[in-house]
Chains A and B, each alone.
Chain A
């Protein structure tokens, strides 16, 4: 305790130590809140990892997730109107929800296919292509949302969470970790599976090796018989599944409604998480946890008010500061303050096959 008080006593730096100490102290209590904002970030980052490892920059993850979130909501409404709400099975799965989830993923895959076509076949600038997908998704979902929300429809509800036995979550020291990780809905749980699966796939499978080869040196990959174009298409389209899950999470697990621009920049924060995680699935997930901490800091401070000197500081700043905090952290990360990350060498460059002579 003495050393802690000594550290806290240092001018200026002591404040930082106090803030860090507060954050560490509240993590067990705020872990469930933090974990609830991880899935869109982690899944978006996985989508980015899969695209960029094969050499395609996907800035359209934001728009892809938004389109998926909207589709999940709308198809859920339509399916509930046609088939009725149905009886919930495990995780609150009902027939309308299952159809809606499938539709959200299909739409995300289609949007990814559009991006793949524009950036691989048309060889459009990938950054512009992605941005335009974002703008188009924002426009189309916003317009349709205005029309559909005016009819005040009944949504298909949302997924429910798993509940571990109290004996497990009340375990000393580690109970809260189990609760935070596993007392979650199906999409949040699937994130863990996706992260581990993609990590193994990327570094331990033939497809993964080829993906990395194509992202680093497509010409060399082509000379050993890898179809660069087909592999990039496959990766970008498959990556759409992750973005689809991330979008569906927003409108089907975190809540049961859709609001215009409900992704609110999460697709971009996901890209920053991907970069901070050095283009590896596990690194991206860990970075997503960090970003989620900042994303929920405002809520956390309301939920568990800090005590001591820092309470004046943390509760004194306007609430908008906490709204802006995750975006600020994203810029800091991108600016390389936390250390330089090196993207795959062929990232963002369209590949033109040399003509056979």
Chain B
């Protein structure tokens, strides 16, 4: 005979497991469906290739080389981890925003300027010892990202300007700032192409393999730190309350506008840190353009993880593996690496259509789900709606 308390605990655990399973199964289903849709794209795209033959097994070749490129051997795994690092941090940035009901699609611009900021300080301290140069450069990148996240947060709080449109605009502006600085004042004199100087001692130390840098550790620590912040601190409670019900938050004495501003700043700081990790860990200098897929991948990472900081880790690993494996896929299966963008886009579409799947599953007779559909914290409201 078990005591009522024990029964309650067991049923509590069971509900938790059911909820976790419900989220995980939908995420896994979304990915599998995206892979099927991606296979369809690969098959269709053969039709336009010159002297292309219709090979129905081509998707399997593509996915096999994608998998081997990501996990086939120690070097591949380290490369996957390196690709995962900025996605963890940028994914956390988007996830933290979601928790406060904010949709930060400006991760791309914050990553770009975070990288630029860390490189600028890195160049200035290139000859200083690492224990001075590295923390300073990391802080600089984080601070620049935070500032770039503060702008849309502040505008949203003060005037209700929707953060989706302002952050997208800021992404484009970040690209212009980068190009202007790298081809102007930061350009190495007499260099044929616009690049900055090397960051010297500010480069991250390598921990594993050929390029498994310090950033891996930073990303891992930050995931747990963000979980702690969101679920074990007052600030986190405020963020989550404002995200789920701003009116209740205001009634409880919280200040939603302040929370929105600071959450967006924190989000920008995380994205800036992601940029610093890319710049200090891999690039070691800046060029006039910067890979922007991190910003969009980060949205996929956060949505797939349902904005749970711990779940961001496996979610980022998935997309990091795709990015890492895409090179081998291009060489062996001759599939352009842009296929990953298709997979990311379609995964997102399936995740957003999740409630429809649930209805569909219920209709075909599966037993009804134990828990309500996990809804994303609402960002409803017009593009220029009044501030909450």
Contact = CB atoms under 8 A, between A and B. Distances in A.
Contacts of A343: 382-385
A128 B379 contact: yes
A129 interface: yes
B273 interface: no
Nearest to B295: A135
Contacts of B50: 151
Contact of A129 (B343, B352, B384): B352
Interface of A: 52, 57, 59, 118, 121-129, 131-133, 135-140, 142-144, 146-148, 150-151, 264-265, 268, 271-272, 274-275, 318, 320-321, 323-324, 327-328, 330-331, 334-336, 341-344, 347-350
Contacts of A137: 345
Given A132-B352, A144-B45, A334-B155, A324 B165 contact: no
Contacts of B105: 131
A54 to B, nearest CB: 12
Given A147-B48, A324-B177, A334-B384, A140 B172 contact: no
Max count, chain B CB within 10 A of own CB: residue among A136, A146, A350:
A136
Nearest to A130: B164
Interface of B: 41, 45, 48-50, 103, 105, 155, 158-162, 164-166, 168-170, 172-173, 176-177, 179-180, 183-184, 296, 299-300, 303, 336, 338-339, 341-346, 348-349, 352-353, 355-356, 376, 378-386
A131 B103 contact: yes
Contacts of A328: 169, 173
Per CB-CB distance, the 4 closest pairs between chain A and chain B, nearest first, are A136-B345, A139-B341, A343-B382, A347-B382
Given A122-B353, A128-B352, A143-B339, A348 B385 contact: yes
A286 B162 CA distance: 22
A320 B172 CA distance: 10
Contacts of A57: 381-383
A77 to B, nearest CB: 9
A327 B45 contact: no
A342 to B, nearest CB: 8
Contacts of A132: 345, 348-349, 352
B295 to A, nearest CB: 10
B161 A334 contact: yes
Contact of A136 (B165, B177, B303, B346): B346
A318 B184 contact: yes
A271 B103 CA distance: 17
Majority secondary structure, A binding face: helix
A221 B139 CA distance: 54
Contacts of B296: 135, 138-139
A122 B336 CA distance: 33
Contact of B381 (A123, A334, A347): A347
A264 to B, nearest CB: 7
A125 B346 CA distance: 17
Contacts of B161: 331, 334-336
Nearest to A144: B45
A132 B41 CA distance: 18
Nearest to B101: A125
Given A136-B349, A334-B384, 13 more contacts: A57-B382, A57-B383, A118-B352, A125-B379, A127-B379, A128-B103, A128-B376, A133-B349, A135-B348, A138-B345, A265-B172, A271-B165, A331-B169
A122 to B, nearest CB: 5
A275 B92 CA distance: 31
Contact of A127 (B166, B303, B343, B380): B380
Contact of B169 (A142, A318, A323, A327): A327
Contacts of A342: 386
A135 B299 contact: yes
Given A125-B378, A331-B170, A147 B164 contact: no
Given A139-B344, A151-B49, A347-B385, A318 B180 contact: yes
A124 B165 contact: no
A234 to B, nearest CB: 20
B338 A265 contact: no
A131 B376 CA distance: 14
Contacts of A52: 382-383
Contacts of B386: 342
Contact of A344 (B48, B49, B168, B382): B382
A280 to B, nearest CB: 14
